[in-house]
Amino acid sequence: MSRFWSDIVHRLTPYVPGEQPALAHPVKLNTNENPYPPSPRVVEAIRRELGEDGASLRKYPDPTARALRETVAKHHGLRVEQVFAGNGSDEVLAHAFQALLKHDQPIRFPDITYSFYPVYAQLYGVEYETVPLNSDFAIDVDDYRAPNGGVLLPNPNAPTGRALPLSEIEVLLKANPDAPVIVDEAYVDFGAESAVNLIDTYPNLLVVQTTSKARSLAGMRVGFAFGDPALIEALTRVKDSFNSYPLDRLAQAAALASYEDRAWFEDSCAKVVSSREKLIGQLQALGFDVVPSAANFVFARHSAHDAATLAAALKTREIFVRHFKLPRIDQHLRISIGTPSECDALVAALGEILA
């Protein structure tokens, strides 16, 4: 009964994840999952970790995920003490709110962005201000020069898909030398520039990435933060005060194997980008306005058709896209990039609906 709830529970507005349809073969373009399976090396690594009888599962995993962090550090040209591993980038961000973003001044993030940010701010009692995107749904880094307790933004942004060039990220860092700047790079591998190479120059920079998107491991829940060792230590102190074993044995083995197969990773990303560019042209031919995207999704609107109505009509055809009932974007649909056949099914269905 709600009378037993803590006071904060009454005040929370939880994050709402994308629908997970209980259908045999839906065209699922609503949660930005990779349409392709992970590297075969991932499956082999999981089998090796399990062994004949799964006996390894009776033992706790490495609480520091040392082998995984060493592999990922080498991939990015970092030192292992500059890498933090967590149970998906959502958990990594949650730790960052507690460890780095709770100060006297409010933090700042875009008004149209990943909707978990205000949820975490509310949950952890972090004051925040939202900064409006411009009319083209782009982030203007000059809007983040006001005093703040930290800056948080995705690059590419979600749900718009627009990306900032690395030069603009550097402008942002120079404008905020005394505050943490967190760049959430969940979709960076589909066409944006990573800020990882700026870490040694800017000790206030934390870069957050995930294996859920480009590496097809959404089901394993593995995320990372990269930054100055002092920032990583702060995250580790929070992690070890919450859950010392956030990554299980299979997740660590799977993520490590995915980083060892660079060829698979690059091929998968290239296929998604190719499908994205083709889909953008097809949507434009149907009369949609599409925001430039550097992610594995597109953000589109049709001036003559209500977005919620379109999403509902697609759902009756077992095609799922994401619609947000939020100011400024309630006439847009966020459409994940699927396989070529899934994209074709979407375009065909939209052609029927619009006709």
Query: What pLDDT, in 10s, does the model give residues 86-143?
Result: 999 999 999 999 999 999 999 999 999 999 999 999 999 999 999 999 999 999 999 9
Averaged pLDDT for residues 202-220: 98
Query: What pLDDT, in 10s, does the model give residues 317-347?
Result: 999 999 999 999 999 999 999 999 999 999 9
pLDDT of residue 20: 87
Averaged pLDDT for residues 259-279: 98
Spatial contact of 290 and 279, defined as CB atoms under 8 Å apart: no
Percent of the chain with pLDDT over 90: 95
Peptide bond into 17 cis (omega under 30): no
Averaged pLDDT for residues 16-36: 90
Domain ranges for the chain, please list them. Answer: 15-37+263-354, 40-260
Mean residue pLDDT of the chain comes to 96
Closest C-alpha to 216, from 40, 45, 73, 35:
35
Averaged pLDDT for residues 58-83: 98
Averaged pLDDT for residues 290-297: 98
pLDDT of residue 2: 85
Class of domain 40-260: alpha beta
Averaged pLDDT for residues 32-51: 97
Residue 187 CA to its chain's centroid (Å): 6
Dihedral through CA 25, CA 27, CA 32, CA 37, nearest 10? 50
Residues 6+ apart with CB under 8 A from 116: 15, 90, 93
Residue 1, pLDDT > 70, answer: no
Between 15-19, 39-43, 52-56, 124-128, the lowest mean confidence (pLDDT) is in 15-19
- For the domain made up of 15-37+263-354, give the CATH fold: Aspartate Aminotransferase, domain 1 (3.90.1150)
CA distance 101 to 181: 9
Between 13-27, 255-269, 278-292, the lowest mean confidence (pLDDT) is in 13-27
